[in-house]
Amino acid sequence: MRILIVEDEPSLARQLRQTLESAGYAVDSAHDGEEGQFLGETESYDAVILDLGLPEVDGLTVLDRWRKAGHRMPVLVLTARDSWSDKVAGLDAGADDYLAKPFQSEELIARLRALIRRASGNASSELVAGDVRLDTRSGRVTLAGEPVKMTAQEYKLLSYLMHHKGKVVSRTELIEHIYDQDFDRDSNTIEVFITRIRKKLGADLITTIRGLGYSLEG
């Protein structure tokens, strides 16, 4: 899953990036509202962490512009402001959740997981496809009840497909949502990881739709 952080405080931005990358997310960062708005309009994100007190363009304006332009990615507003009026303004502008500074990293990650699940229509933290189960809280994958060891990149790819079970997901979409901006999008990494996942979890789990992409059923 790919996350955008829009935060102008350098130390907090670094902390957020480290926390999210440690949790297995691909992360892009913007340090002012203008850059954040541009990235949100031109790149694909599974969720955004957005500070309200940004230079250049404030966070509420950025969020309002995204929503008016039809961008529907989940947005978690992160701000030092804790009055009820600021919370209402953020939610009215289109925020999906609200977290005031200071915060605990565990709560931030839990809120992000919940936003991403809801955006893809999944209510439970455990995703199921046939005999395969993926626990988004623990990062544990099992096959018929037995744990399966997966690399970080295999887990990211499987998690994205399971969040979008039953849908055809293109190679481009997978790359956009699993890797950050610096990834070489012409590489065959996706195909390699699909092959590895099939070997570990069964050849029939992921179907190749020729010319369109991949679909996970179950």
Residue 11 is part of a domain; what is its CATH number?
3.40.50.2300
> Would you state the pLDDT for residue 145?
94
Q: Same structural domain for residues 79 and 109?
A: yes
> Strand 26-30 relative to strand 168-169: parallel, antiparallel, unpaired?
unpaired
pLDDT in tens, the chain (218 residues): 999 999 999 999 999 999 999 998 999 999 999 999 999 999 999 999 999 889 999 999 999 999 999 999 999 998 776 667 777 888 888 999 998 888 899 999 999 999 998 888 887 889 999 999 999 988 999 999 999 999 999 999 999 999 999 999 999 899 888 887 666 666 788 999 999 999 999 999 999 999 999 999 86
Q: Same structural domain for residues 113 and 75?
A: yes
Q: Same structural domain for residues 17 and 77?
A: yes
- 152-162: buried (b, 16+ CB within 10 Å) or exposed (e) per residue? ebbbbbbbbbb
Q: Same structural domain for residues 134 and 210?
A: yes
Q: Same structural domain for residues 134 and 115?
A: no
> Would you state the pLDDT for residue 185?
61
Beta strands, E only, the chain: 2-6, 26-30, 47-51, 75-79, 97-100, 126-129, 132-135, 140-143, 146-147, 168-169, 206-209, 213-216
Q: Same structural domain for residues 111 and 63?
A: yes
**Any residues with CB less than 8 A from the CB of 20 and at least 6 apart, and which?**
3, 5, 27, 109, 112
> Would you state the pLDDT for residue 113?
92
Q: Same structural domain for residues 169 and 101?
A: no
Q: Same structural domain for residues 35 and 111?
A: yes
Write out the residue range of the structural domain in which residue 45 sits.
2-119
The residue type found at 80 is A
Domain end position, chosen among 89, 119, 149 = 119
* 103 three-state secondary structure: coil
d(CA 61, CA 52): 9
> Would you state the pLDDT for residue 42?
94
d(CA 104, CA 106): 5
Q: Same structural domain for residues 114 and 29?
A: yes
d(CA 176, CA 133): 24
Q: What is the DSSP letter of 136?
A: T
Q: Same structural domain for residues 7 and 81?
A: yes
